[in-house]
Amino acid sequence: MEIKKAKESDIEQITKLLYQVHKIHSDKRPDLFIPKKKKYNENELKSIIKNEEKPIFIATDEKSGNILGYAFCIFQKQNADSMQPIKTLYIDDLCVDENLRGGGIGYKIFEYVKNYAKEKHCYNLTLNVWALNENAKKFYEKCGLKIQKYTMENIL
């Protein structure tokens, strides 16, 4: 397995994984997520891939070239007067192909991203996880992530 930055030629395979992630959310929260959609369209993906502040890392099978998983990341800087001026690498989306989950690929992607964040002198690595996604919550806890804050809702 090789982990590297995504290129435009990877968009088709990335799109398949984006659908898988979206389905998890739309199956459990159709009030928020529209079924059979995905987070980014092709033009948005092209733009993100070109943006150095939003690296996408892909894990590929070295023999077949198939994408096994990905991590969409975003560099963030704290600018509020009342907050420390830290640099964060935010994981916007992390996915492993649904047929390959549980085999350690996600952990390797996470560790790669964590090391990349350290190399870029980030203070921390953050992400959001939906309460409905129990498997993701358990995975991130195993990776050593701790709860930083909660987003709460009251459906009216």
Residue 148 lies in a domain: no
Convert the pLDDT of each residue in 94-117 to its tens digit.
Answer: 999 999 999 999 999 999 999 999
| Domain assignment present for 152 | no
Q: Which amino acid is at 75?
A: F
Domain assignment present for residue 13? The answer is: yes
Candidates 28, 39, 17, 35; CA nearest to 132 is 28
Total count of domains within the chain = 1
* E strand intervals along the chain: 2-5, 56-60, 67-77, 87-96, 124-127
Instruction: List the beta bridge partners of residue 87.
Output: 77
| Residue 66, pLDDT score | 97
Q: Residue 114 domain-assigned? A: yes
CA-CA distance, 79 to 90, in Å (whole number)? 15
CATH number, domain containing residue 122: 3.40.630.30
Residue 147 lies in a domain: no
User: What is the reported pLDDT for 151?
Assistant: 92
Domain contains 151: no
Q: What is the pLDDT along the chain (156 residues), one digit of tens a residue?
A: 999 999 999 999 999 999 999 999 999 999 999 999 999 999 999 999 999 999 999 999 999 999 999 999 999 998 888 999 999 999 999 999 999 999 999 999 999 999 999 999 999 999 999 999 999 999 999 999 999 999 999 999
Domain span at 85: 2-142
> What is this structure's pTM?
0.94
